[in-house]
Amino acid sequence: MDQKQVAYLVPTTILANQQYEAFKERMKDYPIRVEVLNRFVSKKKQEEIIKKLKLGEIDIVIGTHRILSKDAEFKSLGLLIIDEEHRFGVKDKEKIKSLKTNVDVLTMTATPIPRTLHMSIVGIRDMSCLYEPPQNRKPVQTYVLEYDSEVIKEAITKELERNGQVFYLFNNVEGIERKAKEIESLVPEAKVTYAHGKMTGKEIEEIMMDFIAGNTNVLVCTTILESGIDIPNTNTIIVENADKLGLAQLYQIRGRVGRSNKQAYAYITYKRDKIINEAADKRLKAIKEFTELGSGFKIAMRDLEIRGAGSLLGEMQHGHMDQVGYDTYCKLLDEVIKESKGIKVEEEQDITIDLNVSSYIPDSYINNNTQKIEVYQNIALCRNEEDIKNVTEDILDRFGKMPKEMFSLLGIARIKEKCKEIGITKITQKQEKVVFYFNPESFTLDIADLIAKYNNRIKFSTGINPYITFTLKNTYNVIDEIIEFLK
């Protein structure tokens, strides 16, 4: 309505057509002109659309990489929407940058690529997560297994018996026709068809329209299936040689089923007796682990851990992050971003605490090393009492009643937070005496009040490094006494 134009960029021609139909339907009551630009459109029509784009006679254009061509110029582009963002390479993104100097950009994806996800986490981009699935959706039941023709036959038969349709992903153009014939002989009642990216636009369109209409019920195809195709009646997907596919790719492919209120099934298979490399094994485990709806964010986070974030500008896929560690890298970047926004960065004070208490996570309480490290990290990231309460509740909920050592660990986290609030830099214990060192610039002390409460149990020492010596009543209860004293 602001006299600006909208470009809606999608990775595949099939998806462009689906979105075009949806947009036309949505906008039919408004004076908004919608057009589609991809290789299905005739050359003459393409030229006409490009001419109208320049003149501002088209409001919304939906298309593939064709939108990024040099000849595609806009009269006044206001909004760029990038659908399935993970499907566009870094070079495409550089082209997009030249297209959008003063344009609002909305990127959408179920599994953002590591660099984009990382930019969102550190605050360079705004991010919004949709966790609520559409009504009546059920998580896809996922099986990761060795290839077995009997299992495949049963899966296809079961789906056809409930009048459903099946996607069979076979990512090899040369052998796809042979695979389609193999399925025909395995399940004679199936109406099998196949599609791949080397076909002409018209051929793919006819095959897909036939499949959507229900004239065929098993579609053998390559990863052209990956992007956003919406066929609610297809609720079983079989993936062959899944170990050769990426993690985000597998998640996207599985997302092609389960788009209605029916229970959907995904069979992720790999060659029998094949030795799978470590990275592929991690990917298959992750796809099995993250089955609940809205897991794309977790999948992307796992991908970020496996691959690293890459540099923020230019085409480099990997930066120097591995040399400084991910946490340090994010911390440095966060400081720079805050500085550029004019936000004052508070220097974090490191507090040394040396007490005669055992504070750690015993193996008898948490024996999984990964979970143990995760809990230590969560405690280290606590910044206030509320954070500590949340972490404590989470630990109790996951692992049950805590041992004494665990309580001590959380107690030390509380002490650190109190010390930061009042300017204490170091605490050491010598038998029944605890010494508190403080920064005189940030430490305000009501000596009269302390003497009234603790009498001869406290001593003050002034000088370059002033400190207070506090005598404990009971050495068995060190942490509670210190917390009380700090209050």
Walk along the chain (487 residues) in steps of 10 and give the mean pLDDT of each run: 91 84 93 89 90 93 86 88 78 70 81 65 71 76 89 94 93 91 93 87 82 91 72 91 80 82 89 75 74 60 57 47 58 77 72 87 86 86 87 89 90 88 86 85 74 85 83 83 87
Does 360 lie in the same domain as 282? no
Does 176 lie in the same domain as 285? yes
As given in the structure block, the two tokens for residue 419 are: 């010390």
Predicted pLDDT at 209: 83
Is 304:119 a contact under the CB 8 Å cutoff? no
Predicted pLDDT at 16: 87
Does 100 lie in the same domain as 150? no
Predicted pLDDT at 85: 75
- Specify burial of residue 472 (Cβ count, 10 A radius: 0-12, 13-18, 19+): middle
Does 96 lie in the same domain as 154? no
Would 32 be classed as within a structural domain?
yes
Strand duo 34-37 + 60-63: pairing: parallel
Does 209 lie in the same domain as 96? no
Predicted pLDDT at 22: 92
Does 153 lie in the same domain as 41? no
Would 339 be classed as within a structural domain?
no
Would 93 be classed as within a structural domain?
yes
Domain with 457, as residue range(s), is 352-486
Q: Which residues contact 355 (CB under 8 A, 6 or more apart)?
A: 412, 427, 428, 429, 434, 478, 479, 482
Does 234 lie in the same domain as 167? yes
Tally of domains in the chain: 3
Q: Which residues contact 379 (CB under 8 A, 6 or more apart)?
A: 388, 391, 409, 410, 413
Predicted pLDDT at 167: 94
Would 182 be classed as within a structural domain?
yes
Does 147 lie in the same domain as 272? yes
Does 478 lie in the same domain as 405? yes
- pTM tops 0.85: no
Would 324 be classed as within a structural domain?
no
Give the CATH number for residue 467: 3.90.1150.50
Does 104 lie in the same domain as 154? no
Would 134 be classed as within a structural domain?
no
- Please report where in the chains the tokens 């990489």 appear, as a residue: 65
Does 263 lie in the same domain as 158? yes
Does 266 lie in the same domain as 162? yes
Give the CATH number for residue 45: 3.40.50.300
Positive or negative: CA dihedral 470, 474, 475, 481: negative
